[in-house]
A and B are shown apart, each in its own frame.
Chain A
Amino acid sequence: MDESKQPVLQMTGISKSFGGLRALIDVSMDLFPNEILAIAGENGAGKSTLIKVLTGIYRADKGEIRVHGKKLNISTRRDSINAGIAAVYQNLGLVDTLTAPANVFLGLEPVKRILGIPFIDNSTMRSRAVAVLRDRVGIELPDIDAPTRNFSGGQRQAVAIARAVIGADLKVLVMDEPLAALGPEETRNTFNLIRAVRQRGTAIILISHNLDHVFQLADRVLVMRGGKHAGVAEVARSSKRDVLGMIVGSDVDVDAMA
């Protein structure tokens, strides 16, 4: 990673509360071009909330987001897609009674107007989804018209990824716990997928609390604890033990845990 480069993405001083619960407290982060940045932290540390702020699901109470130095006002998923930021959410966020194309385009359905009334163009949607799945995710589903609940974990994940990468100019791909529910073979495939997406010039934010995965994939790891930024480590120059220490906090004896 080249520190002299300008970051693709900067989040500065982000705070977010849910009622009295302070989920994010003054969190800042930078993401550099071609980088895989992991975000680690215990359950409830605020990782998912941070990426939901980034992708327009929640509005931050405070703080700003910049892409290539330009300040953005992200308040809907469409805003974040237009800015080149897409996400695969934890639990994938698929509607399993809908087909793969319907999921890929959910909320962004192409329409044909007849007498001014917008009708969803299912056939365009279908052929574009097949193309995205084949060319950008590298999978051909055996039955494109089947509801996604008939698919395996890896296939469903492919649909979720296709949904994230349909935006034309993808700069940042965020993946929230993409490896949590996968078998070993699927995990290896997803590793390859993440590296391939990076090779195409997209920076990646990978949320994971599995340090083995983090150390295999990421360039840097941002640690969150209790809604706060708890430190950043360069993977090449740190040990898992150091990072684990940041995750659990200095008052816990890491050696005793290991």
Chain B
Amino acid sequence: MTITQTAPLVADRDVERKVRLPWYKRYINLIGPLVMIIALSVTMAIAQPRFFELANLMIILQDAAIFMVLGMAMTIVITGKGIDLSIGAVAALSAVIMALLIKDFGLGLYSAMAAAVAVGFVCGVTNGLVITQLRVPDLLATLAMDQVYRGIALVLAAGTVLARFPEPLPFLGRGRIMDVFPTAAVVGMIALGIGYVILNYTWLGRYAIAIGGNREAAVLTGININRQKIFHYALMGVCAALAGILLTGRLNAIQATTAQGFALHTIAAVVVGGTLLFGGRGTMFGTLVGVLLLSMVTNALVMLRFQFFWQLIASGVIIIASIGFYSYLQQDGSGDSRSDE
């Protein structure tokens, strides 16, 4: 303990508690997902070495890309003690509107993409307003709004599949840079990089941590909690729209019923990565690891010819195991790392 008293003020020799964390404890939150990735890799090395072929690894990245974009914003929402269950419907609604504008109204691709982002933004702000002004709890508000947005998408698309879009939309969604690296994964990683900056270097991220970590302290500081929460959901809406655009490009088609289950998958990836489910700490790097882990598991199960329901069971077990692991670390008090690292 290296407290030096330069004035006869506060000091504490009462509590000889070691405060400098050993280096590995700073990263302990990542140990869980990394251990799972290693375990999975060992299993696959034995069971199906083709898992490690470059082509398959790129498929994993391709699958993960959309969830990187969603996971970035969800990390901030959850850090601020929120949750958004409506993102699948927002992605579908934005994409359907973009597709209709292109197909039925002859709008240019870029204008239609901008419109999709605007739709996502409006959906996100609406979520934020319902939560902060009508005081509906985040979980219920976004669950209900999920139905609303899905319903609007269904009305607009009227059961049709809208397909075949001009470049560069398919290139964005399923193209490969130099014929190898998925374009969408580049978009996803840029999104996570921006998320890292938001979380660590902006008021938005700092106040999200404060609101999630100690709401009363945030109020005492004069942080306008409602306004910050609306920002979080607006960012989430914009990212959901981007995910909708990437999805449309990937399938080169869209219908109102796509992107179901996106919310749970994204929340799972974020929490598996070490962001606290009940707010106060988030990590973009952890979200990247969580997204990759879930994509690897899905891919491995497909390769091993497990049926779809096994994938559901596996992701459920991973989520419960991770949350249990982090709860254990919380009690232990050793799981503290920087808000992000």
Q: B338: which of A99, A139, A161 is its contact (CB, 8 Å)?
A: A99
The reply to whether B221 and A138 form a contact with Cβ atoms under 8 Å apart is no
B219 touches A57 (CB 8 A): yes
Q: Which residue in chain B gives the minimum CB-CB distance to A189?
A: B10
Q: Which residues does chain B contribute within 8 Å of A192, judged by CB atoms?
A: 8-9
Whether B221 lies near A106 (C-beta < 8 A) is: yes
Flag if A186 contacts B12 (CB, 8 Å). yes
Asked if B164 lies at the interface with its beta carbon under 8 angstroms from chain A, I say: no
Q: Which of A32-40, A140-148, A212-220, A224-232 contacts B (4 or more CB under 8 A)?
A: A140-148
Provide the bound-state CA to CA distance between A96 and B21, in Å.
Answer: 15
B14 to chain A, nearest CB (A): 4
Chain A positions within 8 Å of B221 at CB level? 77, 93, 106-107
Q: How many Å from the CB of B15 to the closest CB on chain A?
A: 4
Question: In chain B, what residue has the closest Cβ to A135?
Answer: B6
Q: What distance in Å separates the Cβ of A190 from its nearest Cβ neighbour in chain B?
A: 6
* Partner among B6, B20, B213, B222 whose Cβ is within 8 Å of the Cβ of A97: B213
Contact yes or no, B220 A77, CB < 8 A: yes
The answer to whether the Cβ of A49 comes within 8 Å of any Cβ in the partner chain is no
- A159 CB to closest chain B CB (Å) equals 10
Given contacts A57-B220, A94-B214, A97-B281, contact A122 B201 (CB under 8 A): yes
Q: Min CB distance, B182 to chain A, in Å? A: 29
A96 contacts across to B, CB distance below 8 A: 213-214, 280
The CB with the most chain B CB atoms within 10 A, among A57, A93, A98, A186, is that of A98
B4 at the interface (CB under 8 A from A): yes
Establish whether residues B14 and A154, one from each chain, have CB atoms under 8 Å apart when the complex forms.
Answer: yes
The yes or no answer to B46 lying at the interface (CB within 8 A) is no
The yes or no answer to A234 lying at the interface (CB within 8 A) is no
**Complex-state Cα separation, A19 to B2, whole angstroms:** 49
List residues 6-32 of chain B with CB under 8 A from any CB of chain A. 6-15, 17, 19-21
Contact of A255 with B by CB under 8 A: no
A95-B214, A140-B3 known; A152+B9 contact, CB < 8 A:
no
Q: Annotate A141-184 by CB proximity to B: 1 below 8 A, 0 otherwise.
A: 11101110111111101100100000000000000000000011
Q: A94-B214, A96-B214, A119-B201 are known contacts. Are A141 and B19 too (CB-CB below 8 A)?
A: yes
**A242, CB-defined interface residue at 8 Å:** no
In the complex, the 4 A-B pairs of residues with the closest C-beta atoms, listed nearest first = A138-B9, A154-B12, A138-B7, A107-B221
Q: Which residues of A contact B (CB under 8 A)?
A: 52, 56-57, 76-78, 89, 91, 93-99, 102, 106-107, 109, 111, 117-120, 122, 134-135, 137-143, 145-147, 149-155, 157-158, 161, 183-186, 189-190, 192-193, 196
B-side residues, CB < 8 A to A, are: 1-15, 17, 19-21, 197, 200-203, 206, 209-210, 212-214, 216-223, 276, 280-281, 333, 336-339
Given contacts A97-B209, A138-B10, A186-B14, 20 further A-B contacts (CB under 8 A): A52-B220, A77-B221, A93-B216, A94-B217, A95-B218, A96-B213, A98-B213, A102-B209, A107-B223, A109-B203, A120-B201, A137-B10, A138-B5, A142-B19, A142-B20, A143-B20, A143-B21, A146-B21, A147-B336, A183-B15
